[in-house]
Amino acid sequence: MDNKIFEIFIPGPAGRLEAKYYKSKKNTSPIALVLQPHPQYGGTMNNKVVVQTFQTFLENDFSVCRVNFRGVGKSDGDFDNGQGELADAAAALDWLERENFDNSQCWIAGFSFGSLIAMQLLMRRPEINRFIAISPQPNVYDFSFLSPCPTSGLVIYGKKDELVPASHTDELNKRLSSQKGIKVEFQSVADTNHFFSQSEEILSKNLDKYIKKESTLF
3-state SS string for the chain: CCCCCEEEEEEECCEEEEEEEECCCCCCCCEEEEECCCHHHCCCCCCHHHHHHHHHHHHCCCEEEEECCCCCCCCCCCCCCCHHHHHHHHHHHHHHHHHCCCCCCEEEEEECHHHHHHHHHHHHCCCCCEEEEECCCCCCCCCCCCCCCCCCEEEEEECCCCCCCHHHHHHHHHHHHCCCCCCEEEEEECCCCCCCCCCHHHHHHHHHHHHHHHHCCC
Q: Residue 130: which of 138, 121, 139 has the closest Cα? A: 121
By residue range, what is the domain housing residue 33? 6-215
Percent of the chain with pLDDT over 70: 99
Give yes or no for residue 106 having a pLDDT over 80. yes
CA separation (Å) from 178 to 108, 144, 148, 151, 184?
Answer: 22, 14, 10, 13, 9
Give the pLDDT of residue 123: 97
Q: Is residue 137 part of a domain?
A: yes
Mean pLDDT of the chain: 96
Query: Considering the domain boundaries, does residue 1 fall inside one?
Result: no
Q: For the segment 114-156, what is each residue's pLDDT rounded down to a tens digit? A: 999 999 999 999 999 999 999 999 999 999 999 899 999 999 9
- Between 170 and 180, whose confidence is greater? 170
- Does residue 180 register a pLDDT over 80? yes
Q: Which residues does 11 contact at the CB level (< 8 Å), separation at least 6?
A: 17, 91, 95
28 CB burial (10 A radius; 0-12, 13-18, 19+)? exposed
User: Nearest CA to 163 among 185, 184, 192, 143?
Assistant: 192
Q: What is the pLDDT of residue 65?
A: 98
Query: Does 98 have pLDDT greater than 70?
Result: yes
Question: 217: pLDDT confidence band, cut at 50, 70 and 90?
Answer: confident
The pLDDT of residue 113 is: 98
Q: How far apart are CA 117 and CA 159, in angstroms?
A: 23
pLDDT at 2: 63
Whether residue 67 is contained in a domain is answered as: yes
pLDDT attached to residue 178: 87
Indicate whether 1 pLDDT > 60: no
pLDDT band at 31 (very low <50, low <70, confident <90, very high): very high
Q: What is the mean pLDDT of residues 95-117?
A: 98
User: In this predicted structure, what is the pLDDT of residue 11?
Assistant: 98
Q: How many domains does the chain have?
A: 1
Task: Give CA–CA dist 138/174, Å, rounded.
Answer: 12
Query: For residue 105, which amino acid is it?
Result: Q
> In degrees, to the nearest 5, what angle opens at C-alpha 26 toward C-alphas 203 and 5?
55
CATH of the domain at 198: 3.40.50.1820
Range 58-64 average pLDDT: 97
Instruction: Report, as an integer, the average pLDDT of 188-200.
Output: 96
Residue 93 in any domain: the answer is yes
